């Protein structure tokens, strides 16, 4: 089994740009080399749009949407107070360690736990002879990469929009 982690295409907010759509189509053609039978997608619109393009290229009828594959649950607005600003600073510095009674977003530990849980579920319920495509975000890809390599020390590699990483499981 191979796991293909695909980062959504270039976007403007939560919708793919025309360049993002073109890039997904171009890179997506490379995925025909795999035996992908299922596409799992974050529920974010940019991931769903990316998944729809890839499903058409790969002739896959169903996209399985997993809310757990979304980016860290975070602020939906600019910081409005000191607590939110601290959380945002931690978010930008990959610390995510606000105490539970003071935080306004998901901690890094909670984020990793959520990603590990959904990944384990996907592996457990998938055919070992099929490849799985997961369309999500850079942070999700980092978390799953750390989990696959059995480390909590994630190197914040750069994975560009409409690019992918392949793992043999």
Residue 134 lies in a domain: yes
pLDDT in tens, 90-146: 655 554 444 444 444 566 677 778 889 999 999 999 999 999 999 999 878 878 888
Q: What tokens does 84 get? A: 């939110």
pLDDT reported for residue 99: 44
Give the integer Cα–Cα distance in Å for 128 and 147.
Answer: 19
Residue 122 lies in a domain: no
pTM of the model: 0.81
- What is the total count of domains within the chain? 1
pLDDT reported for residue 65: 96
Sheet order of strands, 131-136 included? 63-66, 36-42, 131-136, 2-7, 164-168
pLDDT reported for residue 17: 97
Give the integer Cα–Cα distance in Å for 133 and 34.
Answer: 9
Res 14 pLDDT > 80 = yes
Domain range for 67: 2-73+128-168
CATH number for the domain that contains residue 37: 3.40.50.1240
Residue 110 lies in a domain: no
Residue 89 lies in a domain: no
Give the integer Cα–Cα distance in Å for 4 and 31.
Answer: 9
């Amino acid at each position: 089994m191979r796991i293909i982690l695909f980062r959504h295409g270039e976007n403007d907010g939560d919708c793919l740009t025309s360049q993002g759509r073109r890039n997904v189509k171009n890179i997506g053609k490379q995925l025909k080399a795999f035996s992908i039978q299922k596409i799992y997608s974050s529920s974010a619109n940019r991931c769903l749009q990316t998944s729809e393009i890839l499903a058409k290229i790969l002739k896959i009828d169903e996209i399985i949407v997993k809310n757990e594959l979304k980016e860290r649950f975070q602020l939906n607005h600019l910081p409005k107070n000191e607590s939110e600003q601290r959380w945002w600073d931690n978010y930008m510095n990959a610390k995510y360690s606000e105490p539970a009674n003071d935080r306004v977003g998901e901690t890094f530990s909670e984020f990793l736990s959520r990603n590990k849980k959904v990944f384990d579920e996907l592996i457990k319920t998938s055919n070992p002879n099929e490849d799985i495509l997961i369309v999500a975000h850079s942070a999700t890809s980092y978390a799953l990469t750390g989990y696959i390599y059995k480390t909590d020390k994630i190197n914040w590699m750069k994975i560009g929009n409409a690019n992918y990483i392949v793992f043999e499981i």
